[in-house]
Amino acid sequence: MRKLWAVLKREYRETVRKPSFLIMTVLAPFLMGALMLVPAFLASRGMGERRVAVLDGTGRLRAAVEGLAGEAPGERSAFARGRGTNVPTGRIVPEYVDLFTVDPKNAVGPYLERLSVERTPKERRLDGVLLVPADAFERPLTHLTYFSRSAADLLAQERLGRAVNRALQRERLAARGVAPAELELILAPLPVETVQVTKSGQERRGGEGSFVLAMLFLALLFIPSLVYGQEVMRGVIQEKTDRVVELLVSSMTPMELLSGKILGMAAIGLTQMAVWVAMGGAVAAAGLSEARSAGFDLSSVLRPSIAVWFVVFFLLSYLVTVGVYAAGGAIVSSEKEAQQVLTPVMFVFLVPWFLMMPILTNPDSTLSVVLSLVPIYTPMTMFIRLLVSEPPAWQVALSLVLSVATIAGLLKASAKVFRAGLLATGKRPTIPELWRWLKEA
Amino acid sequence: MSRVLSLHDVVKHYGSVKAVDGVSFEVNAGKITGLLGRNGAGKTTTLRMITGVLRPDRGRVELFGAAVEGARDRLGYLPEERGLYRKMRVLDHLLFLAEIKGRSPASMRPAAERWLKRFELSEKKDSKVEELSKGNQQKVQLAGALLFDPELVVLDEPGSGLDPVNVVLVRRLLRELAAEGRAILLSTHQMGEAEKLCDEIVLVHAGMVVRSGPLAEVKASGGRDAVHLEFTGDGAFLAEHPAVASARIDTNRAELSLAPGADAQELLAAAAVRLRVLRFEVVAPSLEEVFLEAVGEAAPPEVAA
């Protein structure tokens, strides 16, 4: 035990002292944040402003069109609420043109001219022209025409269309004698709110946010495991090439050596996680209140029990991954070779990542249940299920037992491969040779 | 004299190659035992089974009367292929090496400082291992094998990679350790070195022990005594003397190897009758010669420097 501790301590101390550890620990949250925020930022900027001329043949849509200007980017009007699109759409700057008295056919030309990038100065340039025919109120089968430089300018088109249609509906109803006070009531759509009913009959709201959250958690479960798995592998290979390993093996059992290394790495991972949690705490708190004001109540997803499960599954994921990488390091003789061997292994580990959507949307399907019971997939899959659903206690218990048993078995097998592989720095062993190592040691 | 280590009919295969083939010998406290043989004779494999790095396919290794695994903390080991964590600081590394032998690092600090001082490495204690010269790295590793006060010290080719000054330093150190009552087992392919250092010899060839015992006994077990003679007069008749097996005779000197059972004294008497003897010396055979005879080869092996 003391030797295990010695190895653990050494791994920990030597890793934490490395500049790369400090950099990774301090910078990773910023990188991660940047990774998530930059695309959103770019997207909303890319949408930017849309200058759109609405050529109104009816002459009665001024209020509706100019109302569009008041909508902030990404903000959804009270009516649009619950319609689903929460993608930022950028600001629409409408330019209302009353064509009631003019023949639209002749008036459109100059506006279309202003769509052209070459012939129009930037201040006057239009991004779109929406033509509302004069008979829009009378003839139900007519249509709106949207002229734009880009055929895929779907969002602006959709929003414009919706606003104009709403105004048309209102006008039509008003024309048929509906009182203005009742109009809002008649036209108000009903938002859909997701309520998860738990086994104990409790109700949980705010499931919409769990997708993003699941992504974040999975990344946190997975990425450090992989990073430190490779670190352990590199360490083992280094010990082989530096020839330290003979001293180590002559002083302790391979099991002590391996456990010490893996637990040392787990301690490093937990340290890093603690730093990240501390750093992210403030940001997350701000994020939560923001999310709540935007209509998501994440506190129902971020329950205290989830924190506990996260630590449990983080450790499991860590131990399994690091164990596999350590054994890999013992088998191969150089890092280059290791990459070849372990790239396919990584894809096997990544399966739940690719299957996240089906698991998230259907956490109790056969696929989800089976995956969550396969030890190397347990950490990620079972954690998603716990996050968004309520898997039966026996399944959780079984998955934990299987995982722990697998880790123990993996450690044992790795220790055997370790002893045989450590001194063999020549060529990579064949499968039969590996099998012999497993039986022999 | 107490037995520290014993091997009983130990066998180790690598695939179909038999690296060690039924080796038995003992190592006793207070003695320096040399495991001698050419490269590939099975020395390193044997030592690795003693240190628990490898397990024998057959046979038994007993350390302090028990299995190897139970006694590893009483054994210090200097492997043939030296290696340390390159990025670790020297003192930290020494303490780590003591800690994996079950000693508390705090209690080992004075010993570590003492060894560094002895090897003139005190100023380097906070340097990284990779910043040290190769010779100094070797000394750090040797200190690591000794600082936790092991009762048995196993050294695989301790002299390799050391300059002559350090070879002498190590030789003196090993003598000292043996005098303190520790058992020393070292392997080497340099017979001359072993002759200067070892009390007990185990000669191995092709995975088997060909001779073993105290140095003097091993040397007496084979080879022939030789006579070196300087004289004035005609020495040609010496070659015909019954005590002489073979002779090389120059004008004023002769090197004669004695026939089995022959008495050098008779030869001296015969020589004194017909020559003026300036020098007469009986020379015991070298370990090298004993080895070659035991292995049954006449040509001297290539000895790496």
d(CA B251, CA B201): 38
- Residue A218 distance to chain B (closest CA, Å): 34
Q: Please state, in angstroms and as integers, the Cα–Cα distance from residue B293 to each residue in B221, B224, B286, following that order.
A: 10, 10, 11
Q: Which of B13, B45, B53, B104 to mutate to test the interface with A (most CBs of A within 10 A)?
A: B53
| Counts of helices then strands in chain A (DSSP H, E) | 16, 6
Nearest CA in chain A to B81: A243
Nearest Cβ partner for A423 among B53, B82, B102: B53
pLDDT tens per residue across span A157-211: 777 787 788 788 877 788 788 887 787 788 777 777 766 666 666 655 555 566 6
The pLDDT > 70 percentage for chain B reads: 96
Interface of B with A in 191-220 (CB under 8 A): none
- Residue A265 distance to chain B (closest CA, Å): 17
State whether residue B57 sits within 8 Å of chain A by CB: no
Interface of B with A in 114-173 (CB under 8 A): 144
State whether residue A332 sits within 8 Å of chain B by CB: no
Nearest Cβ partner for A6 among B79, B82, B99: B99
- Residue A238 distance to chain B (closest CA, Å): 9
Sign of CA dihedral A355, A359, A362, A368: positive
Task: Report the pLDDT value the prediction gives residue B184, as an integer from 0 to 100.
Answer: 94
d(CA B33, CA B199): 6
Q: Are A146 and A132 in contact (CB under 8 A)?
A: no
State whether residue B236 sits within 8 Å of chain A by CB: no
Phi, psi dihedrals of residue B26, rounded to the nearest 5°: -130, 155
State whether residue B86 sits within 8 Å of chain A by CB: yes
A234-249 burial, b if ≥16 CB within 10 A, otherwise e?
A: ebbbbbbebbbbbbbb
Interface of A with B in 223-242 (CB under 8 A): 239, 242
The reply to whether residue A6 touches residue B84, judged by beta carbons under 8 angstroms, is no
Sign of CA dihedral A180, A186, A192, A195: positive
The reply to whether residue A14 touches residue B87, judged by beta carbons under 8 angstroms, is yes
d(CA B34, CA B214): 10
- Longest Cα–Cα distance in chain A: 99
* Interface confidence (ipTM) of the complex: 0.79
Beta partners for A248? none
Q: Please state, in angstroms and as integers, the Cα–Cα distance from residue A256 to each residue in A165, A372, A414, B54, B285, following that order.
A: 72, 30, 12, 16, 49
State whether residue B51 sits within 8 Å of chain A by CB: yes
Task: Report the pLDDT value the prediction gives residue A117, as an integer from 0 to 100.
Answer: 74
In 3D space, the residue among B160, B6, B155, B12 whose CA is nearest the CA of residue B75 turns out to be: B155
Residues of B in contact with A248 (CB under 8 A): 100
Nearest Cβ partner for B83 among A13, A242, A250: A242
State whether residue A214 sits within 8 Å of chain B by CB: no
> Cβ–Cβ contacts within 10 Å for residue A436, how many?
14
Q: Are A206 and A297 in contact (CB under 8 A)?
A: yes
Output the six-digit token pair for A119.
């012939």
Mean pLDDT for chain B? 86
Check pLDDT > 60 for residue B265: yes
The reply to whether residue B99 touches residue A252, judged by beta carbons under 8 angstroms, is no
- Residue A399 distance to chain B (closest CA, Å): 35
Nearest Cβ partner for B81 among A2, A9, A246: A246
Most confident of A72-76, A129-133, B61-65, B253-257: B61-65
Burial class of residue B127, CB neighbours in 10 A (0-12, 13-18, 19+): middle
Angle (nearest 5°) at CA A352 between A348 and A358: 140
Answer with the residue of higher pLDDT: B246 or A5. A5
Q: Roughly how many angstroms between the first and final C-alpha of chain B, as a whole number?
A: 35
Model pTM? Answer: 0.70
- Residue B150 distance to chain A (closest CA, Å): 12
Q: HSE (CB half, 13 Å, CA atoms) of A356? A: 20
- Give the lowest-confidence range in A272-276, A302-306, B70-74, B169-173: A302-306
Q: CATH top-level class for A50-192?
A: alpha beta
List, in order, residues 6 or more apart from B9 with CB less than 8 Å away.
B22, B23, B24, B58, B59, B60
One-letter amino acid of A95: E
Task: Report the pLDDT value the prediction gives residue B8, as an integer from 0 to 100.
Answer: 93
State whether residue A44 sits within 8 Å of chain B by CB: no
Output the six-digit token pair for A54.
């609405």
Burial class of residue B138, CB neighbours in 10 A (0-12, 13-18, 19+): buried
State whether residue A439 sits within 8 Å of chain B by CB: no
- Residue A25 distance to chain B (closest CA, Å): 21
Rg (alpha carbons) of chain B, rounded to whole number: 23
Check pLDDT > 80 for residue B174: yes
**In the 8-state DSSP scheme, what is residue A303?**
-
Element (H, E) at A73: none
- Residue A341 distance to chain B (closest CA, Å): 24
Task: Report the pLDDT value the prediction gives residue A79, as an integer from 0 to 100.
Answer: 39
Q: HSE (CB half, 13 Å, CA atoms) of B118? A: 17
Tokens 């049954």 label which residue?
A: B296
The reply to whether residue A242 touches residue B86, judged by beta carbons under 8 angstroms, is yes
pLDDT tens per residue across span B134-154: 888 989 999 999 999 999 999
The C-alpha torsion from A116 through A117 and A119 to A122, rounded to 10°, is 120
Q: Are B264 and B296 in contact (CB under 8 A)?
A: no
Nearest CA in chain A to B130: A242
d(CA A318, CA A383): 14
Q: Are A319 and A255 in contact (CB under 8 A)?
A: no
Low-confidence ranges of chain A (pLDDT < 70): 36, 39-49, 69-91, 104-105, 151-156, 194-211, 280, 282-303, 422-430, 433-434, 436-441
Report the DSSP pairing between strands B200-205 and B208-214.
Answer: antiparallel
Return the domain boundaries, chain A. 50-192, 204-440
d(CA A329, CA A252): 19
